[in-house]
C-alpha cells in the first residue's frame, strides 16, 4: 500500500508538498507548532526559549524559527502546548511558501509560483504585488495573510466566525485540502477514503470533513494516533506530543 500511495503522490511534479510537510512536520502523530500572533511575537532565538529544551519537537521548532515561520513570545517562551489558532496557522502556511533573504525580506518560492494556476498567479501579480509577508501595522495583525490565503482559495473565510479560535485537527485538514487542490492534485476520493476508514473515529467527522482528513492522511501530511484513531474534534497544540 505504501508504494501505491507514493506512486500516486509522484504522479505530478510535487513542488509544494515539501513546504506543506515542513509546515505540518510538527503534527507527527499528534499536533502542530503554531506561529505566535503578530502582536505577541518576538525575534527571540529558539535556543533562548525557556520551555522547549528536551521537547520532542525542539529541532523542528528551531528550524522553523530560523526560517522565520515560527515566533516565540516576549517573555522568552514558545508555549508548545498551547492551542494553535486559525490566524496563526494561516500565517505559517503563507510564510512556508516564501524564501527568507539575508536582509530579512521575503519573496515567493519559485516552485510555489509555478504550482499555481494562471488565475492565481495573476491575482498575486496584480492584487498582491506589494505584499510584504508582514503583519498589518494597524488593525487586525493577520488580515494580510488571511486575505491572500482566501483569494488563492486556500481558505474558506465563511467557515470561521473568529479567526482567533483554536483549530481542530479536521480544521487543519480542511485548509490543507484546499491548498493541495490549488497547488498539487487531489487523490481519488474513493481510494483515499477507503484507506482512511481504518481510523476508528473517522465516522464521527462529517462527510466533508472525512474527505479532508483522508486527503491529508493519504498524502502522509497528517498521521493518526497510536490507538488507531485520527483524533477528530481534538484541538491542535503548538507542538502536541503523542
> Does the residue 79 lie in any domain?
yes
Angle 77-78-84 from CA coordinates, rounded to 5°: 140
Mean pLDDT of 179-195: 91
CA 72, 95, 173, 242 dihedral sign is negative
> Does the residue 236 lie in any domain?
no
> Does the residue 242 lie in any domain?
no
> Does the residue 227 lie in any domain?
no
Mean pLDDT of 133-159: 96
Q: Looking at the 3D structure of the chain, how many domains does it have? A: 1
Residue 16 has what pLDDT?
55
- As a whole number, the mean pLDDT across the chain is 81
Burial of 103 (0-12, 13-18, 19+ CB in 10 A): exposed
> Does the residue 165 lie in any domain?
yes
> Does the residue 239 lie in any domain?
no
CA distance 108 to 94: 9
Angle 190-173-9 from CA coordinates, rounded to 5°: 55
> Does the residue 238 lie in any domain?
no
> Does the residue 225 lie in any domain?
no
Residue ranges making up the domain that contains 48: 2-218
18 vs 175, more confident: 175
62 vs 19, more confident: 62
Amino acid at each position: 500500500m505504501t508504494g501505491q500511495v507514493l506512486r500516486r503522490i509522484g504522479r505530478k511534479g510535487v513542488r509544494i508538498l515539501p513546504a506543506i510537510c515542513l509546515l505540518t512536520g510538527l503534527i507527527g502523530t499528534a499536533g502542530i507548532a503554531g506561529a505566535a500572533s503578530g502582536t505577541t511575537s518576538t525575534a527571540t532565538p529558539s535556543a533562548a526559549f525557556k520551555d522547549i529544551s528536551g521537547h520532542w519537537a525542539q529541532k523542528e521548532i528551531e528550524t522553523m524559527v530560523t526560517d522565520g515561520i515560527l515566533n516565540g513570545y516576549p517573555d522568552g517562551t514558545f508555549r508548545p502546548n498551547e492551542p494553535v489558532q486559525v490566524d496563526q496557522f494561516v500565517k505559517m502556511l503563507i510564510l512556508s511558501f516564501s524564501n527568507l533573504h539575508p536582509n530579512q525580506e521575503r519573496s515567493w518560492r519559485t516552485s510555489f509560483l509555478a504550482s499555481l494556476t494562471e488565475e492565481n498567479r495573476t491575482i498575486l501579480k496584480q492584487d498582491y504585488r506589494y505584499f510584504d509577508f508582514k503583519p498589518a501595522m494597524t488593525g487586525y495583525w493577520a488580515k494580510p495573510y488571511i486575505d491572500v490565503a482566501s483569494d488563492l482559495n486556500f481558505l474558506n473565510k465563511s467557515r470561521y466566525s473568529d479567526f482567533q479560535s483554536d483549530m481542530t485537527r479536521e480544521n487543519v485538514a480542511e485548509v490543507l485540502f484546499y491548498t493541495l487542490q490549488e497547488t498539487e492534485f487531489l487523490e481519488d476520493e474513493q481510494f483515499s477514503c477507503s484507506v482512511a476508514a481504518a481510523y476508528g473515529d473517522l465516522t464521527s467527522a462529517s462527510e466533508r470533513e472525512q474527505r479532508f482528513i483522508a486527503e491529508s492522511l493519504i498524502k502522509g501530511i497528517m498521521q493518526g494516533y497510536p490507538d488507531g484513531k485520527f483524533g477528530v474534534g481534538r484541538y491542535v497544540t503548538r507542538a502536541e506530543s503523542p
